[in-house]
Amino acid sequence: MFNTRDGQRAAEGIRTTYRTFEVNSLTPHIGAEVCDIDLSEPLSNEQAQDIHDAWMDWKLLVFREQELTREHHKAFARRFGKLHVHPMQHQYRGDPEILKVKTSADSAYTAGDGWHTDVTCDEIPPLGSMLYVTETPECGGGDTLFADMCLAYELLSEPMQRFLGGLTAVHDGALPYVGSYKSKPPEGGYPRNEHPVVTRHPETGQPVLYVNRGFTSHIVGLSGAESRALLDMLYRHIDSTPRLWCRVEWRPKTLTFWDNRCTQHHAVWDYYPHGRYGERVSIVGEARPAA
Ligand code: SIN
């Protein structure tokens, strides 16, 4: 749909100027705020290509002060592909393409409160997600952390990179949706699929560490103890390396757009008993994650 740049970063850093806008980076390698764009207006092809390019460069884009209806939100997402229907939608009423992300004093959990990549239990997980937050906790808090999984791979030693390169892992929807959220599975159960532990980003070609605490149940072919130890080591690498992260501080009317093929995120529930509300639209991926 979009022309892909070669994805190589210039030695002096990632660019911040595009043909139709500029961005302000949140860290040197992940996350940028896009200036001067109104997502409620139809995008020109040039603007859409620039957003795509900035998204490839920065992995996570933040758009502030957007007045969006659901139709605007979905129309923007459709510029990047078909809309995804979340596996837990079978138990919700309402628009199947809109995932409500609502937390109040009565919530038993907050969706995404732990490092994960969205819906990796699917055979073809979403390629990206757009979360539009309209209510933030009045006391502050409720930020979302994002992690750069290309850098996570890059920071591993070469012997570890080589070892992981031959492995596949099982990603099981029952883990979060039943285990954490206590939801009733649909007929036939939640999706469960295998993906390589190291994938290659289909557009930039960069290697990606592709296991996540939310969905990955085990590594195929290892003993239970070996698989647990290896996954725990990789999760600790993500948990304990702030250099991988970028922090989005939400203000009402902020939309973020993340590349689900090379990031993880963690919605921080540090605002109980206050509330937070947003709606997420995800975009269907184009192919199975591949090594
Ligand atoms: C999610 O998409 O996992 C929720 C993220 C958030 O609420 O910040």
Which ligand 1 atom is nearest residue 144's CA? 8
**Plot region of 225 (φ>0 → left; ψ -120 to 50 → alpha; else → beta):** alpha
Q: How far is the CA of 111 from the centre of ligand 1 (A)?
A: 6
> Would the pLDDT of 109 be above 70?
yes
The percent of residues above 90 in pLDDT, for the chain, comes to 87
Ligand 1-lining residues (CB < 6 angstroms) = 101, 111-112, 118, 129, 131, 144, 265, 267, 278, 280
* CATH, residue 146: 3.60.130.10
Count other Cβ atoms within 10 Å, centred on residue 159.
8
In a domain, 10, yes or no: no
Domains contained in the chain, number: 1
Q: For atom 1 of ligand 1, which residue has the closest CA? A: 112
pTM (2 d.p.) = 0.94
Name the residue type at position 240: S
Tell me the average pLDDT across 71-77: 97
Taking Cα atoms as reference points, which of 50, 30, 31 lies closest to residue 39?
50
Task: State whether the Cα torsion 41-42-43-44 is positive or negative.
Answer: negative
274 is catalytic: no
Domain that holds residue 218: 23-283
- Residue 121 located in a structural domain: yes
Which strand (E) or helix (H) includes residue 234?
helix 224-239
Segment 147-165, tens digit of pLDDT:
999 999 999 999 999 999 9
Task: Transcribe 17-59 into DSSP letters.
Answer: B-SS-BEEESSSSS-EEEPS--TTSPPPHHHHHHHHHHHHHHS
Nearest residue (by CA) to ligand 1, atom 3, is: 112
Give the closest residue to 209 by CA, choosing from 240, 177, 180, 244: 244
Q: Is the pLDDT of residue 55 over 90?
A: yes
Domain for residue 230, yes or no?
yes
* Catalytic residue (choose from 53, 118, 148, 259): 118
CA of 267 relative to ligand 1 center, distance in Å: 5
Note the pLDDT tens digit of each residue in 179-222. Answer: 888 888 888 899 999 999 999 999 999 999 999 999 999 999 99
